[in-house]
Homo-oligomer: A and B are copies of this chain.
Amino acid sequence: MQFNITKDFLEEVKSLIEVSDTKKLEHILEELHFADIAEIIDELNLEDAVFIVKLLDSEKTSEALMELDEAQRDRILNALSPKEIAGELEEMDTDDAADILNELSEDVAQSVINELVDEQHAEDIVDLLRYEENSAGGLMAKELVRVNENWSVTGCVSEMRAQAENVTRVHSIYVVDNNNKLKGRLSLKDLLTSKEDTPIKDVYIPKVDFVTVNTPGEEVSRIMRKYDLEAIPVVDELDRLVGRITIDDIVDFITEEAEKDYQLASGISQDVEANDSIWELTKARLPWLVLGLLGGIGAAAIMGGFEEIFEKHAVLFFFTPLIAAMAGNVGVQSSAIIVQGIANDDLKGSIGNRLIKEILLAMLNGVILAILLFAYTFATKGEIFTSIAISTSLFVVIIVAGLVGTFVPLALHKRGIDPALATGPFITTSNDIFGILIYFMIAKAIIGI
């Protein structure tokens, strides 16, 4: 059923654009879903993409524009006049339109707003611009179906039909009082099965989950996922119904958050994509690499401090990458589990208990790994003291690394800092330094130099 864009199809589109055969183009594109149009636009050069956006009906291209990634969309919007952008915005839901305006420069945004024809739509969009992007207000759309508790079922159905025209999907019908205060919701089922003259007051469900315009996006996402909601109404400070958030926006939000955490854990500090420019990618990657460089320089300085061990026990130096790598790996593992536990809101018990559990876990892993390492070093080098020193250090380093990996994200979270920052290069680098320092101190103590 899904349409797969073939190379041949793309070539056809390109050659039709070249000869400006708009009739044929419209014909082959009109049946396509906007998500497919977006994929085609994505494959075209800017000029051709703009040609398609101008050619097709705004009803379709406005949705397609929302599917593009931001950089690509910006390039296309830059090639359109304020009037043309306004044409696209007219067809969008208010939340999408507000997002687009936020992406434009202030001047252009103002010109676009001036070109909007539908006054109510313009008012709604401008209203949404006031909210912070990552709050319920910034996520919500103005489109919803609202009925007054004082209406009857008949009045309600006809009013609903009119309103539903503007709402892509009717998830719930919200019930308000004369002051627009949210009272509850109405199920379509109840509406279908009630007598025509029943007052809405008697059939609506008074229990309804809601969020306020200032609720953070993470909290909205948590509530909607916890209670399996497909839409949630948003009220302002006076409990007045001002918008609703639908699950598809939250799906996007969840995906973006997960990607951000994944990138942080991988040492990428900005939201970038494989297709971004080398400069963008460098800005996202270089800071963490500089951190790693400083860590490595720190490790080198520590090792320099133990230079006198060198002559007799050079073999100790061969194992520094092993110790550093293990410290890093254990740290990343522990922190990742804590970061996920925090994100899913299912960490139980105190920090103290967490740390005790991590010590036990690290001890179990540490003993196994230390025995393996001892077996190898003793078998190959035959020096009992260096073998003991190396494997004992590994054991201790694993425990310390596990504790740091557990403690740091918990501590950051307590201070309101995103714990995902503590995974990846940060924990690897600090554990490298700790690990090597502990290693040489223990080695020195055991070998006794």
Contact = CB atoms under 8 A, between A and B. Distances in A.
Interface residues of A, number: 111
A45 interface: no
Contacts of A336: 262-263, 265-268
A258 interface: yes
Interface string A286-297: 101110110111
B161 A192 contact: yes
A228 interface: yes
A273 B303 contact: no
Interface stretch (A50-58, A100-108, A425-433): A425-433
Contacts of A274: 337-338, 340-341, 346-347, 354
Interface stretch (A12-20, A84-92, A317-325): A317-325
Contacts of A247: 230, 247-248, 251
A329 B261 contact: no
A227 B39 CA distance: 12
Interface string A260-289: 011101111000111100100110011011
Interface in A336-381: 336-338, 340-341, 344, 346-348, 354, 357, 360-361, 364-365, 368-369, 372-373, 376
A132 interface: no
A338 B273 CA distance: 9
A319 B348 CA distance: 42
Interface in A43-79: 43, 67, 69
B346 A319 contact: no
A203 interface: no
A130 interface: no
A337 B208 CA distance: 41
Interface stretch (A22-30, A116-124, A307-315): A307-315
Contact of A307 (B161, B285, B314): B314
Nearest to A158: B192
Number of copies of this chain in the oligomer? 2
Contacts of A188: 170, 188
B376 A337 contact: no
Nearest to A330: B289
Contact of A424 (B299, B332, B346, B436): B332
Interface of A: 1-2, 33, 35, 42-43, 67, 69, 157, 161, 164, 169-170, 188-189, 192-193, 208-210, 223, 225-228, 230, 247-248, 250-251, 254-255, 258-259, 261-263, 265-268, 272-275, 278, 281-282, 285-286, 288-290, 292-293, 295-297, 299-301, 303-304, 307, 310, 314-315, 317-326, 328-330, 332-333, 335-338, 340-341, 344, 346-348, 354, 357, 360-361, 364-365, 368-369, 372-373, 376, 398, 423-425, 428-429, 432, 436
10 contacts: A35-B227, A266-B336, A275-B348, A282-B365, A285-B365, A289-B330, A290-B369, A303-B318, A303-B321, A321-B432
